[in-house]
Amino acid sequence: MTWLLPDPPQLRNASATPIAGACVRLRNRRGRFCLPSVVVIGAMRAGTSALTHYLLQHPHLIRNADGTEVHYFSDPFEPTRSLLKTWPTYAARFPVAATTVQTLDKTAQYLTGNMDALRTLLPRAHIVAVLREPGQRAYSEFFHHCRAGRVVEVTKRVGPLRAGAVLRGDALRGGRFAAAAICYGARGRKKQLDELYKLREEENPAWILNKGTYRVLGRCAARHFDRFLAASPPEGEWTELGAGRYADLLQPLGGAVTLVDAADLRSDAGAVARRVLGGLRLDAALYPRHLEPYVPSHVDAPEPLLPATRRRLDDVYRGPNAALRRLAPDLKLVGWS
Ligand SMILES: Nc1ncnc2c1ncn2[C@@H]1O[C@H](COP(=O)(O)OS(=O)(=O)O)[C@@H](OP(=O)(O)O)[C@H]1O
């Protein structure tokens, strides 16, 4: 069991909810841990790794020790009160050796996670969201899942699903496959997926595929994405589409967020990083003049979206994009519906 010991003067009241940047000592753990001052919350596949790469070139900003996504707030079903209770386990991800250093958590799924808990636990954190044209973002996410073997093609009719339908989801026991919907929400509860899907199966058996009724694609093309959208279950089910309704997702933050247009990040990532860092208490003079370029882990050039898919996505996002323009009139959002 981790235990909190105050490290004054930054954490004044050890029994209260900590503030962003607060540093603590934890019982059973050596050293000092500082809650993030900066949280890059998404959107997934919008360029969060590139932005993080540029931000971390400031010598006084570090990521959690293992450099991976922390996912503490990723599960939208995890109640805020339990996340607030277990916060020392979150703090334990951010060991800090020097007092000048601040920490950063980059987890692209926070945008679709429990943002209320994030805001409550870290009310003064500098929250940054990179927003990419939602149709392209969804397409990129689809390819990301495809590369990871999470996209399948139905090979024989299953309930209302025709052969050729494309689904994204998770492998279950016994060679079965569950179409996504809740699998991302249930990320923190992977072990219970079978139970979760058993409930789902009673409601709608079509979304559970038995062994022999599907094949894993591995490589996807534009037509697969179109078929994936065509097979999509009722409104709100596919997280690929839901994750592009930015204005709704950002609502719990009440405007306390820096929004970055992914197109700006592509054209001058260093300038965007400097702007974000300007909002932090970090010495701007220490930021290198020449930045190490970001090298993506893979370079894929997927085919352009099919025109029909593009029209479908434009229809889906016209309303959400209008809501985002009202929320953030300064964003250019060139080429968004
Ligand atoms: N400088 C810069 N600016 C903006 N975007 C960039 C940049 N560099 C890479 N990329 C593209 O970012 C996509 C990956 O996004 P993320 O890092 O957020 O992905 S992840 O959610 O962490 O998996 C991924 O998009 P896809 O090309 O669609 O795969 C990268 O190509």
Taking a C-beta distance cutoff of 8 angstroms, is the pair 65, 113 a contact?
A: no
To test the pocket of ligand 1, the residue of 39, 40, 41, 45 to mutate (highest count of ligand atoms within 8 Å of its CB) is: 45
pLDDT given for residue 236 in this prediction = 44
pLDDT given for residue 198 in this prediction = 64
Phi, psi for 131 (deg, rounded to 5): -115, 120
What is the Cα–Cα distance from 321 to 109, expressed in whole angstroms?
20
Range with the lowest mean pLDDT among 23-37, 41-55, 225-239, 245-259?
A: 225-239
Residue 10: is its pLDDT beyond 60? Answer: no
Tokens of 78: 């995890």
Q: What is the ipTM of this complex?
A: 0.99
Task: Give pLDDT tens digits for 146-183.
Answer: 999 999 999 998 877 889 999 988 888 889 888 775 44
Taking residue 17's Cβ as centre, other Cβ atoms within 10 Å add up to: 12
What is the Cα–Cα distance from 91 to 59, expressed in whole angstroms?
21
Helix (H) or strand (E) holding 169: strand 166-171
Taking a C-beta distance cutoff of 8 angstroms, is the pair 85, 137 a contact?
A: no
> Which has more pLDDT, 159 or 325?
325
User: Is 140 marked within a binding site?
Assistant: yes
> Which has more pLDDT, 17 or 255?
255
**Rounded to the nearest whole angstrom, what is the distance from the C-alpha of residue 10 to the centroid of ligand 1?**
35
The sheet with strand 258-261 has its strands ordered as 61-63, 102-106, 38-42, 126-131, 258-261
Task: Give pLDDT tens digits for 288-314.
Answer: 999 999 998 877 778 999 999 999 999
Q: State the burial class of residue 247 (Cβ atoms within 10 Å of its Cβ: 0-12, 13-18, 19+).
A: middle
Domains of the chain plus CATH, in order, are: 3-135+246-327 (3.40.50.300)
**Rounded to the nearest whole angstrom, what is the distance from the C-alpha of residue 181 to the centroid of ligand 1?**
23
**Rounded to the nearest whole angstrom, what is the distance from the C-alpha of residue 118 to the centroid of ligand 1?**
23
What is the Cα–Cα distance from 210 to 74, expressed in whole angstroms?
29
